[in-house]
Amino acid sequence: MQDISLHLLDIAENSVNAGATRVDIRIVEDAPGDRLCVEIRDNGKGMDSATMRKALDPFYTSKPGKRIGLGIPLLAQAAREGGGKLVIDSDPEEGTCIVATFMLSHPDRKPMGDVDGTVRMLQITHPEIEFTYEFMRQEE
């Protein structure tokens, strides 16, 4: 993936496939703390704790007939390479929240890319789902 907005699109498509009716995307650019935080929260079917642990394994997928699931592992790798990490919180009753953090100034952090365009595409192609997008910038 060339930029973070493409990862975001990929994870949001997972939310769509998980039956979410609402997907909240939140990005916080914290310059004083040298931190970039990308959060995707949905109200889809969620994962139990065993599935959640396996979600970071690229050779695991919950999709029938498939052998690999690269979306979350690729975002986790991008976060690690950008000096951050990925955290998953999920509950079968409530949905899933994926938070990827990056060091804002890290030379290997991927560029943000076109987040506005990505959210607009999600809104157009899935009119039955409510997408929200919040961007916060904390400046020095």
Binding site for other proteins (CB under 8 A): 1, 6, 9-10, 13, 16-17, 63, 65-66, 69-71, 74, 117-118, 120-121, 123-127, 135-137
Which residue, 87 or 136, has its beta carbon nearer to other proteins? 136
Q: How far is the CB of 11 from other proteins (least distance, A)?
A: 10
| Inter-residue contact 8 to 25 (CB < 8 Å) | yes
Alpha-carbon distance of 98 to 76, in angstroms, equals 10
Q: What is the dihedral of CA 6, 108, 33, 29, to 10 degrees?
A: -20
Q: What angle do CA 58, 64, 68 make, to 5 degrees?
A: 15
Which residue, 107 or 137, has its beta carbon nearer to other proteins? 137
Residue 87: beta bridge partners? 99
Q: How far is the CB of 77 from other proteins (least distance, A)?
A: 12
Q: How far is the CB of 60 from other proteins (least distance, A)?
A: 13
